[in-house]
A and B are shown apart, each in its own frame.
Chain A
Amino acid sequence: MATTACFIIVSRNDIPIYEAEVGSATKREDAAQTHQFILHAALDIVQDLAWTTSAILVTEMLNAFSFFILTNKKYWLLQTLLNPLYLPGSRIVSSHFDTKVRALARKYL
C-alpha cells in the first residue's frame, strides 16, 4: 500500500522549521493540513517525554524533534541543527538538506 509520511522538524516554541512530505501516495488535498494537525498534537507527547526524562539528550531533542524514530536519522538531524550558525526559529531552506531527507525517507519507508 502506498503510504505517505509527513516529516516536520520543530524548533523551540513549536515553530516548524522544516516540512517535507515523503512517500508515494497520491497527494490528497487536505493531507498537508491533517498532517500538521496530527504532528502538532503529537508535540504534547514529546514535551511529556522531556518532563519525565532528565537526560540532556531529550531536552536537546526538543529543539530538533524528528517524527521518525529512526535513530541514525535522528542523530543526523541533531547534528545539523546543532550548527552554531543556526538562527533559532528560522526555516531550513537548504535544498541539499531537502534532498537528503527525501533520500533517507526512500531508504527507510
Chain B
Amino acid sequence: MDPVKTPLGKMLLEEITPVVMVLRTPLVEESCLKNSLSFIEMLSPFCDFNNIDVPVRTSSDQPYRLQKFKLRLFYESDIKQPNIMVAKERLKQVITEAGEKDRSDLSTDPPDISNVLESFKSEISPSWFEIFNKELVRTVSFSEHEAFDHPVACVSVVSSKDEQPINKFVDLFNTNKLPSLLNDGAMDPKILKHYVLVHDNKDGPSEKATKILTEMKNTFGFNGCHLLCINSSQDEQIEHQDNPWAPYNFDSSPSQNLGRYLNIDDFNEIKDLIQELSSKHIIPYMEQKVRVLNQQVSATRKGFRNQIKNLWWRKGKEDTPDSSNGSMYTYSSVESQIRVLGDYAFMLGDYELALSNYRLVSTDYKIDKAWKCYAGVQEMMGLTYFMLDQSRKEAEYCMENAFNTYLKLGSSGRQNATRCGLWWIEMLKTKDQFKEAASVYFRICSEELLHSAVMLEQASYCYLLSQPPMLHKYGFHLILSGDRYKKCDQIKHAIRTYRNAVSVYKGTPWSYIKDHVHFHIGQCYGFLGMYDVGVTHMLEVLDCSHQSKATQELFLRDFLQIVQKAGKSFEVLRLQLPVINISSLKIDFEDHRTYASPGSTSVKESVWCSLEEEMIPSLPNARTNWLELQSKLLPKYKESNICVAGEAIKIAIEFKNPLEIPISISSVSLICELSATSDETNSGDHNFNVDTDVSCSTSGIGNNEEHKNLSIILTTANLVFLAHCREIISDTSSFSLSEVNISLGGGEAYLVQLTVTPKVEGILNIVGVRWNLSGSVVGFYSFGTNYGKKKIAKGRRKAKQSPGNCLKFMVIKSLPKLEGFIRALPEKAYAGHLQHLVLELRNQSEFSVKNLKMKTSHPRFLNIGKQEDLDLEFPACLEKKTNVSPPANPKIASNGVFLFPEDLSVQGENLLLWPLWFRAAVPGNISLQVVIYYEMGDLSSGMRYRTLRMHYNLQVLPSLDVSFKISPYPSRLQEFLVHMDIVNKTDSESIQVNQLSTIGSHWEISLLQPIDAIFPSQSLIAGQAFSCFFVLKSCRKSSSTGESTSSLFPHIGSNVSLVPDGSKGAPFDTSNSPLADFHECERLQHGISNQVGNNRMTIKCGVCFLYSAVSVKPYNFVLITLFNQSCNTASTSPISWVVDAPRTRHHDFSTSFCEINFRMTIYNSSNARASIVIKTLDSTSVSDQLRDETSGNQVGWHAMSLAKDIKLESDALRNHVRKSLLPESVSAFIWSGSSSTRVQLKPLSTTEIPLQICVFSPGLYDLSNYVLNWNLQPVDDHENVGERIQSSGTSLGYPCYLTVLPSD
C-alpha cells in the first residue's frame, strides 16, 4: 500500500508542510470578515494542492515533480507554542462538543457483541477521535527543535484602504510583534517575504489599488508583490453550491454565509495568488535552501575526515550537562542546519535526503545528550522510514525510541510523546497491528483524566479490531475509559463507553464486574434524567450479596433515588430483591381433605392415605358420586385441584433478603384470577390465549388509561405477563386476598403466608406473587416459570400437565367443614404419662354431617374412650371400684377405626366432645396423627365426604427403664423368679413407684421380700436404680375350665402395692379401661396374641407399674412391661417334672433295708396330649450311654439358666459327682416297683407318679438313673402349625441326692 494514501501518510502530508506567516492590518481583516471569514480562513481552502505538478531538484541532479503540496498559513501571533491550559480547554471543548453532537440513541439496548464484531471498522469508533487527535497533535506545534513548523515565508498583507500602505508593509514587519522563534535565534530570521495588497471591491474601483501596487513593486521588488481584489460580487449575496469553506467548518457562523461576497473572479484570484506563491516563490526558495544546505553539510560533515573531526570536537564537549531543550543550537549551528535540511527535504518529498540528514544529526544529538532534539529527529526518522515504505522494523524502532526519549524528559516531553505516540499508533494501525497500537494508547494516558479517557477508549476499539478480537481487554478498557469520562462529567461519553461494555459483559458471571458496569451506567442515565433506562440497569445490581455492606447500601440508596426521581412506580418482573425461593413454595388447600392445624400439612400425604385407607369409601363408589359430577361440570379441568368456596388456600413462600441491610417489603399478595363457571369457556380461552396473541394484549395496555403513569420496562413476553397481571389485579371481586407487610433484616429469610379465598364457584388460577419494595417498586414473580415461553412452545394440550397446573383450582360450592382439636394435649411428657383428654369437634356451617369415624396413628399413645368417660374424674377413675360392671365393648372395627354413634350431630353451635386417653408409651419424638372422617348430610353437594386431619408432635422423655430376667423357680412348677432392675432415666425427676400389677388372669405376682426392706426410700431420684425380686405364679387352669371366665374378665391380675399401706388410696384397677386397652395395644405392638396355651414354655406376662413423679403430682404414670421371655427348658421340651423326694432319711439298717417312697410330678405344657414312659435303670453304664446320646437333648431344671457356661459348669460338676460316686453307689439302691411306667397326660395338666427305691446301706444316693420318654400326639385343629413342635424326646433324670443315715 502506498504510504501516501494511508491515514498516517495523509496526515503527515497535511501536518508537515511549509508554514507561511501572515502579517496583516486590521482593515484587511475587516474586509474579509464581511464574508464571516478571517483572511487566513479565506485563503486556506486554496492552500491545498493535490496536483501542483512543480518540478523540484534538490540534492541530485535529476529533478522530480512534486504533486501534493500544502501551505499552512498562520498569523504571526499564532506562531508560538500553545499555552498548555488553553490547549487543555480547547481539547475539553472538542470532547464536550463531540458529546453533544453524539446523536446516537443512548436509551436503546446495547448492541450485541457479535453484531459489533461484524460491523465495519469505520463504524466502530466514533469519528470525532480524528478531530481530537488532530487537536492533540497541534498542541505541540511550533516547538523550537522542529524545523518543519518554522515559517518558510512571510506574507504581509495591507488593505488598499490603509493610509500609507507602503509604510504599513514596513511597520508590519516590526520585530517586536514577530514570534519568538524568529527573535531568539531558533530559526533564521531572514525568511522569504511576500507583499500582498488587498482591495475590497465594495469600497470602490481598483484604480487606487493598482497605483499602490506599482508603488509596492518599486519599493519591494517586482516579484514579491501582489494585488488581491475581493468582495467583487456587487450587492447580491452568492449562495455557493459547494462552498469551499464548508468542510473546514469554522465555528463562527452557519456555512451558507461564508464567502457570500466572493464571486468566481475572487476565487480565481485567490487561487492564482496561492499557486504563484507556492510554485514560483516558496518551492523554489526551499529547493534553493536545500541545495545550499546540502552543500554546506557535505563540506563540513560528510566524508571520513569530517566524521573524525566531528567526533573529536564532540568529545571535547562531553561534560556539558544534559540539555533538555534545543536552545543550545542556534539556527546557525550545523546541527540546526542539518535538521532544517532534513525537514525541508521531507516537505519537498525527498525522503531519502531527509533520512540521511536525520541520521546524521541524530548521532550528534545523542552524543550531545540533547534528548529532546534527539527524540524529535528519531520521530522524523520513523516517519521518513514509513513514507519510504522501506523498513517497517526500523520505523517502529525509531518511533519507540523517540517515544521513550520524550517520556524520559518528564513533563516537558509529555505532549511531544503524545503526538509521537499518536503517529506511532497510526503507523501500527496501517500495518494492522492493533494490539500494539492499543498498548501505545495505553502508554500515552496521562494523569489527566479526560485525556486518558479518550485514549483508553481508542485503545479499547483497537482491541476490538485486533485479530482475533480481544473482547476482554476491549471491555476492560471501555470500563477504564468510562470511569474517567464519568469523573470528568462527560456523561454522554461515559454512557457510550459503558453501553459498549454492557454488550461485552452481558450475562457475565463475574459478579463484581457486572455490578460495576450496571451501577455506573445506571447512575449516568440518572444524571441525564433518563430514569427509565437507569432503573433497568440499577435493577441488575440489586442482588449484590457478595458486596460489602457499605456497597450494598450505596447500591440500594442510589437505586431508590433514581426510582424516586423518576416519580412513578415501576413494575418489574423478577425483581431480584428480595430473592424468592420458589422451591419453598408450598400450597395448602383443602378439598375433601381438611386440616386442623397448619402443621398438619407438613405430614406426608402417604401417611394420611394409609390412615384413611380403611375409612374412606372405595374409589369406584366415590367416583360415581362426586368425581363424575365434577367432570360433567367441567370436563376440561378434570385434573386440576379442587377447593371449596369460602375456604382459604394458603400459599407459603420464602422471601429472602440477600443483602446485609434491612429492606422493607409491603403489600405482598398473590396474583390470582378466578373465572366464574358460567362464562368458563370465554375466560378459559382468554387465559390461554393471552400469551399466544401478543399483539392483542399489548394493545390492551394502551387502552388502559388508569395505568398510564406506570412505566413498563420489559421484553415483549414479560410485557404480556405484566399486562395480564394488571388486568387480574383490578378484578378482585370474586375472591379476597391477604396482604402482608414484612421487613427483612440483613440476610433474613421469611416464610410469607399468603391466602386467597375464592368467593364464588369457578376456576381459580394462582399466577404469581407481587410485592412492593420500599414503596416504589412493584415486583412481580410468576410461579409458572417462563410463563409465556412455555405455553407458546408447548401448546395447549401439554401445558395442562405442566407443573404450573398445581396452581389451578376448581372452586366448588361451599361445604360443611369440621374443625377440631384435642384439648390440652401435652407437647412434652414422660414415658408412661397417662392423661384424660377431650376431643372437640365443631361444624361452622348450618349443614349437618354424619357417619363420623376416627382413627389414630398410634393407638399405643392415644386411645379412644367411651362416651361415658367424658365426665370421669381423673385419676380417681382408675381406682378399683367395688362394683365391677362388665365394660361395654367400644365400637372399634377390626382395623382400629372407631365409629362414632350414629345419632351424633355436629352442627352450628353444637360441639362434639369425646374422651380420649393419652399415654406416652415409648420415649422419643412422636408424630401423632388423628383422622376424622365425616360425610355430608346434603348429598347434592360436590363432595360426599371429607376428612379432618389432625397432627400433633410429641416429645416423650424417658422415665423408668425396666430390665428383667426370669428364671424358673427351682423345684417348683409353674413359678418363676423375676429379677427386675428399675432405673430412673429422667433428668431431674424423682419417681415413686406405687403399684405393681400383673395384667391378666394367668399370673399372680408377689414380692419375695417386704417392700420396706428392698426399697426403703420409696422414691427413686434421677439416675437411681434398684433391683427387686418377685415371684410370678401361673394360675392358669386347664383350658377347659378357664375359658369362660377369661373371655368375660380378660384382665384380672394381682397387685402389689409398693408403698406402705394407707398412704395411698385404693389400688388402681389395671383390668379396666383405659389401662387394659393400652395393654392390649402393647400386646398387639409386640405381636403377642392373647391366645393361651402355647406349646412353649414361654413366660408371657404383662406387668403394669403405676408410679408417679414426685414433682408432677397430679399425674400418674403407667408403665406396661411385657415379660416375654422363653426359658430354655420350655423351648426344648414341653414336658417338665419335679422329683419330690425327701432329702435325708434315718433308717436303722440293722432291722431291714430301707424303702423310700417319693413322687414325681409331671407337667405337660404343650397343647397336645402326651404319653410318657418312665424307665428306671439300675445299671449306670446304660445311663452313661444314654446320657451321651442325648446330651444335646437334655431336659430338666438343670438347664434353666440361659447362660451356657453355667450349664457347662453344672454338667462338669455333675459328671464329677457322678463319677466319684459311682464305684461306691453301684447297686447301692435298686428301684422297686415297676421298672417302666406309662402315663397319658392331657394338655396343660399335671400328674403324679409314685416311685419307690430300696436302699441297703447308709450313704448318699443319686436318684438320677431313670429315663423319661415322651411322645406328643398333636391335636388336629392345631393353630400354631408354623411352630416347630418337638413331637417326641427322651430325657435323662436330673440329680436328686438322698442322704440315708443310720438311725441310732
Tell me the A residues contacting B by CB distance below 8 Å.
14-16, 29, 32-33, 35-38, 40-44, 47-48, 51
Contacts and interface: CB of A to CB of B under 8 A. Distances in A.
B513 A33 contact: yes
Given A29-B550, A37-B479, A44 B513 contact: no
Contacts of A15: 509
A29 B471 CA distance: 26
A33 B516 contact: yes
Contact of A51 (B468, B516, B548, B551): B468
B510 A16 contact: yes
Contacts of A14: 472, 508-510
B787 interface: no
B512 A41 contact: no
Given A15-B509, A32-B512, A41 B468 contact: no
B510 A41 contact: no
A40 B510 contact: yes
Contacts of A48: 470
A9 to B, nearest CB: 13
Contact of A44 (B473, B510, B512): B473
A41 B473 contact: yes
A40 B515 CA distance: 14
Contact of A36 (B468, B473, B510): B510
B475 A40 contact: yes
Interface string B546-570: 1010110000000000000000000
A81 to B, nearest CB: 17
A80 B938 CA distance: 69
Interface string B497-522: 00000000000111111011000000
Which residue, of B476, B477, B479, B551, has the highest number of chain A Cβ atoms within 10 A?
B476
Contacts of A51: 468
Nearest to A51: B468
Contact of B476 (A16, A32, A35, A37): A37
Interface string B439-480: 000000000000000000000000100001011110111010
Contacts of A42: 472
Contacts of A38: 476
A32 B514 CA distance: 12
Given A14-B509, A37-B512, 12 more contacts: A14-B472, A16-B510, A32-B512, A33-B515, A36-B510, A36-B511, A36-B513, A37-B476, A40-B472, A41-B472, A41-B476, A44-B472
B472 A36 contact: no
B470 A40 contact: no
Main secondary structure of the interface of B (DSSP, over half): helix
B514 to A, nearest CB: 9
10 contacts: A29-B550, A29-B551, A33-B516, A36-B512, A40-B472, A40-B476, A41-B475, A42-B472, A44-B472, A51-B468
Main secondary structure of the interface of A (DSSP, over half): helix
A16 B509 contact: yes
Contacts of B548: 29
Nearest to A13: B509
Contacts of B473: 41, 44
A38 B512 CA distance: 12
Nearest to B513: A36
Contacts of B479: 37
Nearest to B515: A33
Contacts of A37: 476, 479, 512-513, 516
A44 B471 contact: yes
Nearest to B509: A15
Contact of A43 (B463, B472, B509): B472
B674 to A, nearest CB: 42
A15 B510 CA distance: 7
A40 B550 contact: no
A35 B476 CA distance: 11
A28 to B, nearest CB: 10
B763 to A, nearest CB: 41
B512 A33 contact: yes
Interface in B385-420: none
Contacts of B471: 44
Q: 4 closest A-B pairs (Cβ-Cβ)?
A: A41-B476, A33-B512, A44-B470, A36-B512
Which residue, of A29, A40, A43, has the highest number of chain B Cβ atoms within 10 A?
A40
Which residue, of B470, B509, B515, has the highest number of chain A Cβ atoms within 10 A?
B509
Contacts of B515: 33
A43 B510 CA distance: 13
A5 to B, nearest CB: 16
Contacts of A32: 512, 546
Nearest to B468: A51
Contacts of B476: 37-38, 40-41
A79 to B, nearest CB: 24
A72 B79 CA distance: 64
Nearest to A8: B510
A57 B512 CA distance: 30
Which residue, of A42, A44, A51, has the highest number of chain B Cβ atoms within 10 A?
A44
Interface in B268-311: none
Given A29-B550, A29-B551, A51-B468, A40 B513 contact: yes
A40 B470 CA distance: 11
